[in-house]
Structure 1
Amino acid sequence: MAEACPYFDFLLVIPHLQVQNANLLSSPLTHGFPSMTAFLGVMWALERKVREAGLDLQFNATAVVAHRHEEQVTSGGFVHALRLTRNPINRDGSAAAIVEKGRIHLEISLVFGIQSRSLSASGSEEEVARLAHQVRDILSQMRIAGGSVIPSTAPMRKQRPFIVSMVDEGEREALFNQLKLRLLPGFVLVDRTDLLELRHQEQRLIDSGASKLDAWLSLSRINWTCTPAEPSEKVQWENDRTDLGWIVPIPVGYGALGELQAAGTVAHARDADTPFRFVESLYSVGEWISPHRLHSAEQLMWYADSAPDEGRYRCRNDYRPTTSDL
């Protein structure tokens, strides 16, 4: 198991991307924002494409900053429904059956932790800027969490990609402090598995048979309790979200349901050249926080921590709250 975020020498920032019709359903049980597994997939796909373009870049970790979101839903009172479309049409011109696909429009900034020998050897600002624009142009032709990248409405100066050198260990913290202010206003998703463990321990004190699923469901909702009062007094209602922040249930990867199957042996698999495995989603708890509350670049980034022999394919984040954050 990886204990920390993989090391990176540079941070590549692609700011204020406009993504249309991204996947709103992040897992069978969660919705509201694309899964971090989707953004790790974008990172790996982008790495393959930039290498095909002859660029010397290795992508080790990624992060996403959400500036704006617009769920494609209809609402009536307490009920929200997905706006579904019947497309594409069938060959005979008739409407296709509806397949539920939640959609969301996003304005996001992507941050990649990268390493590059050519960047380390180059001291030219023009060369670095040209490389950043090349990566942005390649990314603009890709899908991000199933959504299309469209021209952004942000001012041009805010759309310029840039690379921050983190090679100097002594300047690493100061450089990150400058960078995170450039990502405002916005919110980043961090891992709060520690809250899940804490809630599980609290529930075990009340019910020894409480499972982590019970703890996860408890953190996925607002739980209200009332304080008994005298008949002449008003009942006091309290919830358990005080000081917890913007907590959300999130998928963090996949767990194997069976053995790894040889490439080409499973019918209708998307890729006949890659070994296949049936999996189910793994869940944890995340928190949306402002970038200015982070203390290091490693707290911002998400990275792969997979153990195929154990049937675990997971993404992790190294955020740990300090006393001042609580």
Structure 2
Amino acid sequence: MYKPRPPLIELKQFYYFLTLSRHRSISAAAQELGIAQPSLSQCVSNLESRLNIDLVIRGSSGVQLTEAGDELARYAAEVIERTDAAIERISELGTKVRGAVSLGLPPSLSAILGVPLLETVQNQHPSVQMTIVEALDRTTLDLLSSGELDLGCVYAQPDTNEFSSWAMFQEDIFLATAPDNWPHEIKPDGFATRPIEAITLQELPLAMPRATQGSRRMIERAVRKYGIRLNIVTEIDSVPQMLELVERASCYSLVPQKAVLPQLAAGTIALVPIVAPTIRQTTFIARKSSHPTTRAIAVVEELIVTVLKDVIRRRKLDIDLM
């Protein structure tokens, strides 16, 4: 393995000699460099002494390069050019965001945030390679833990020291039903005119994700404080299939508004507000505490909030950023 040693020649000496090689005159080179002629002459003498070879032939009309001097000038030009390129590259790293970023999103959030976020990253930071993985909480946390994801959005705040997280937004949870499976009026926007009390949820057959998923744990924890036990008849981690069961009037479910936007527009699912108590869901951005944070990761984390604000405004979603 190559072990570098202290250089025999300083970069400044290379630059001085290269300037002299262009002018072939001590006085002209010294004037361009802004130093005294004796200082430049001493620099050349030091180089010759250090390399133990003559580099220039001094004469009344100026200096001529020896074969060794001509070779040194070529090397000096290459060293300075490469040094300038290295400085430019390192400086660019401070201003240009680049690198790969992977983000885990739950399906309902991915449906509204995924595409606009990808487009924004591509337009504003084309040197960032963005990957979005659609997954529920448990899978997202496993991928964060293994280092396969840089960031993840989850519904239950991780309670271990392995992760750091912060609350991004809150939203209401609704009862999702097929319109013809609800006895009361449904407004044109897909929302029921009459709310349902949370205690009544005990009487309805519900399809929900498995108990290990953050959204399910959060909802059960919220109603358990009021002595309410949900009647979960089907556990399914596939959101599309869960919603299809609701559309077919096979059961009900508990979801945020953003999870059923296409179904609301199509009139295949209606949402019933829940009261006494209202159920609120918080979404967190999480990362592994020991995972290094690059500029690209930090920029994407900021863009998540920026893009989400725009989505909320355009789609008129009842989501409260925190």
Question: Common fold, TM-score beyond 0.5?
Answer: no
Quick check: which one's strand share is greater? 1
TM (norm. structure 1) is: 0.19
TM-score between the two structures when normalised by the length of structure 2: 0.19
Going by fraction, where is helix more abundant, 1 or 2? 2
